[in-house]
Amino acid sequence: MPFHRHISLAFAAFLVAISLAASPARPSVFGPETFKLANGMQVVVVQNHRIPVVTHMVWYKVGSADEVEGSTGISHFLEHLMFKGTERHPEGEFSTLLARIGGRENAFTSYDYTAYHQTVAKEHLALVMELEADRMTNLHITPESVETERQVVLEERRQRTDNDPRSILQEQALAVSYLNYPYRRPVIGWEHEIRALTLGGIMAFHARWYAPNNAILVISGDTTAKDVRPLAEKYYGVIPPGPVPQRVRPQEPPQRAAREVTLRDARVRQPALSRSYLAPSHGYGKKDHTYPLEVLATIISSGATSRLHRNLVVRQGLATTAGAWYDADRLGPSRFGFYISPRPGTDMATLEAAMMKEVDAILADGVSNEEVSRAKKLMLASAVYARDSVSHGARVLGAALASGQTVTDVESWPERIQNVTAEQIVDAARAVFKAEMSVTTRLLGLEAPSQ
C-alpha cells in the first residue's frame, strides 16, 4: 500500500501549508491547465500520472433549475436519451465500444449541471472524444425510444423516491425550503410532468442548451494539455457555437416563517429529525459566509469527536446518529442542516430540544480555537487526498465551473479555509441560523414516539 495512505492528518495539513507558503499568490489543489477553443468551449486538464488512465468529462451548464415551469425532469430525461445513439453510432454502439476497450461510462444530472463521463486507458481518449462530440450535436431519438425510456425514468422515480419514506420527506421538504427558487423542484421531475414530456420538447431543450460554448471539457489522468489540445480541436473545435440563453434564475424572497413537515409511514423503522436553514453559497447571497460555514459543518459533524456525535450520541446517549450538512457549491441558495435519529426510548420532543440546545450553544458561545484548528486539519488533509484519485479532480473542477465558480476559486480553497477564524464562524452562524429561515422535518412510523 502506498505511503501516502498512512500519513497523519497533521502531516497532510503540513503538506498543504508548505504548498501555500511556497506560492502564496497561486495556491494549488489540482494544478490544472486550462484553455478555450475558438467556439467557446472551456477545456481543463488535470495531470495525474499514477496509472495510464484518463477520465473524460463533459459538463453542460444546464440542470433541473434551468427547466421551464411545467417541464420538470426534462434535463434528467435528456440525460437518459443521450445514450440512445446518433446516425453515425446507432443505439447501443457507444456502450458496446466502451465495454470492448474496458472503459466505464455514466452520467448524472443535478440542479445546476448535467455531466457525462468515461474512464478509459489513455490511448482511447480520442475515441471517447469522438463519441461524445458526436452526440453533442447529432443525437438521434425516435418516438419509440422516448416511450421506452419514459418507463425507465418513471421506474427510477418509483424506486428512489416513491418507495422510500426518507426520499418522499426530502422531496416535500425541498418544496417548502425554497419559496420561489427552482431548487424546490425535484431533479427527476414530478411524475405527471414526466409523463407529459414530448419528443419535440426534449429535442428543443437539447438544441437550446447542448452547445460547445455552454460546455466544459475536463480531462484528468495520464495526459497533458499539450496532448489534449489537438484532440479537443479536432473533435469539439469543429462544432459551431450556439445561441445559448442566459441562465436567468428567479430570486428567493425573504423567508418570514418557520415551516414544519412531518411524514408518518408504516415502512419507517428508524425515526429521524432534521432542521435546515436557507444559507448562502459560492454563487448566491453573502459569499463571505461560505468558508466559515464549511468549517462549522466539519466542527459539528466530522468524526467521533465532532460536537453533535460527542454530546448527543456518546455523552447523553439520546441518539444513534447526529450530524450536519452544508454544500456551498451551488449557483443558487444552499441550505445548512442538522440531522439526528433517536435511540429506542427517546421521544422526539426530547431529541429536538437537545439538538436545538447545541445550535443555541454555537450562537451564544461560538466555537473554540481548538475546534477550528482540528477542522482545518481535516479539511486541508482532504485537499491532499483529493489529488490521489484519477477522476476526483475532474469532478470537483467540473462541478465548480458549471455552477459559476472559477479555477482560481477551486485552487485557492485551502488558503481560504486556512484563513477562517472562530469569529467569522459565529458571525456566519448568527446570520443563517434564524427561526424564520428554518424547515424542520420529522420522519415517524405509525407507532412512533410523540412529537
Q: Residue 367 — pLDDT band, cuts 50, 70, 90?
A: very high
- Give residue 421's identity as a one-letter amino acid code: T
- Say whether 358 is catalytic: no
pLDDT of res. 8? 36
Share of the chain above pLDDT 70, in %: 93
Cβ-proximal residues to 13 (8 Å cutoff; 6+ apart), any chain = 376, 377, 380, 381, 384
DSSP H stretches of helix in 82-186: 93-100, 125-137, 143-157, 165-177
CB 448 within 8 A of CB 348: yes
Domain boundary assignment for the chain: 31-235, 259-444
Whole-number Å distance between alpha carbons of 202 and 77: 8
CA atoms in the 13 A half-sphere facing the CB of 238 = 8
**Catalytic residue, candidates 67, 79, 371, 415:** 79
CB under 8 A, 24+ apart: contacts of 425-429: 425/292, 425/293, 425/295, 425/296, 425/299, 425/366, 425/367, 425/372, 426/362, 426/363, 426/366, 426/367, 427/289, 427/292, 428/288, 428/289, 428/292, 428/293, 428/296, 429/292, 429/293, 429/296, 429/362, 429/363
- The mean pLDDT value of the chain amounts to 92
Q: Residue 14 — pLDDT band, cuts 50, 70, 90?
A: very low
Whole-number Å distance between alpha carbons of 228 and 59: 17
CA atoms in the 13 A half-sphere facing the CB of 169 = 23
Distances (CA, A) of 448 to 262, 265, 318, 339: 12, 9, 16, 17
pLDDT digits (tens, 9 = 90+) for 209-233: 999 999 999 999 999 999 999 999 9
Q: Which residues of 184-218 are buried (b: 16+ CB within 10 A; e: fewer)?
A: bbbbbbbbebbeebeeebbeebbebbbbbbbbbbb
pLDDT digits (tens, 9 = 90+) for 225-275: 999 999 999 999 999 999 999 998 999 999 999 999 999 999 999 999 999
The distance from CA 449 to its chain's CA centroid, rounded to whole angstroms, is 34
**Residue 125 pLDDT more than 60?**
yes
pLDDT of res. 21? 42
According to DSSP, residue 281 is labeled B
> Which of 186, 175, 109, 181 lies closest to 332 in space, CA to CA?
181
pLDDT digits (tens, 9 = 90+) for 314-366: 999 999 999 999 999 999 999 999 999 999 999 999 999 999 999 999 999 99
pTM passes above 0.85 = yes
Could you check whether 31-235 and 259-444 share the same CATH topology? Answer: yes
Q: Which CATH architecture has domain 259-444?
A: 2-Layer Sandwich (3.30)
CB 136 within 8 A of CB 58: yes
**Residue found by looking up cell 482540528 in the block:** 374
Q: Which CATH architecture has domain 31-235?
A: 2-Layer Sandwich (3.30)
